Amino acid sequence: MTEQAAPPTELPLRPQDELQCRRCEVHCDKVVHPGACIERSCPFVYAYEAFGHTYMGCMQRVFDVEIDLDLLRASEHRRGGFGGVMARRAPLPMCRIEVSSCYEQRSDEIGCRNPEFFELPLASPSFRVFAHVDDRP
Ligand code: SF4
Ligand code: SF4
């Protein structure tokens, strides 16, 4: 008896909205860079003081950890910066995100089954002003 081929892996309607992909052995996750939240003066950053330290976080819960601001700033001055933390909710256009692939050496001959996962939201709005109408009399 011949072995039946495995059914094709199902893909979601919008793979761009997923936060992680495990459709092959590589394992990819979206990570967000908290250093960019400060740099971009995102209105969703919050901060509070506790135990003599200032901690920052994201009101939108794009990432759900709270980070010591002094450590973050010190790391941002070093090569590589603070780096990214796991995204827990769909990133917004102002977030700096990237895809982190864990085990690239496990890639097989088929390659990525879900290339749209790597399509990240644009950092700028998807519209542009092309004309100004002056309605003054
Ligand atoms: S919405 Fe994005 S840029 Fe703003 S604080 Fe949250 S993670 Fe940072
Ligand atoms: S390489 Fe492609 S299919 Fe494999 S886990 Fe990453 S996004 Fe998914």
More confident residue, 123 or 65: 65
Other beta carbons within 10 angstroms of residue 103's beta carbon come to 11
- Quick one: which ligand is closest to 111's CA? 2
pLDDT tier at 47, thresholds 50, 70, 90: very high
How many whole angstroms separate alpha carbon 28 and alpha carbon 18? 10
Question: Is 22 part of any domain?
Answer: yes
> What does the alpha-carbon distance between residue 121 and residue 93 come to, in Å, rounded to a whole number?
6
Domain extent at residue 90: 18-107
Position 112 in a domain = no
Is 36 among the domain residues? yes
CB 32 within 8 A of CB 63: yes
pLDDT interval class at 72 (50, 70, 90): very high
- Report the distance separating Cα 29 and Cα 98, nearest Å: 8
Question: What does the pLDDT look like over 13-45, one tens digit per residue?
Answer: 777 889 999 999 999 999 999 999 999 999 999
**Ligand closest to the CA atom of residue 97:** 1
Judged by average pLDDT, the poorest of 24-28, 71-75, 122-126 is 122-126
Ligand 2 centre to CA of 33 (Å) is 21
- Whole-number Å distance, alpha carbon 59 to ligand 1 midpoint, is 8
| Spatial distance between the Cα atoms of 130 and 62, rounded to a whole number of angstroms | 32
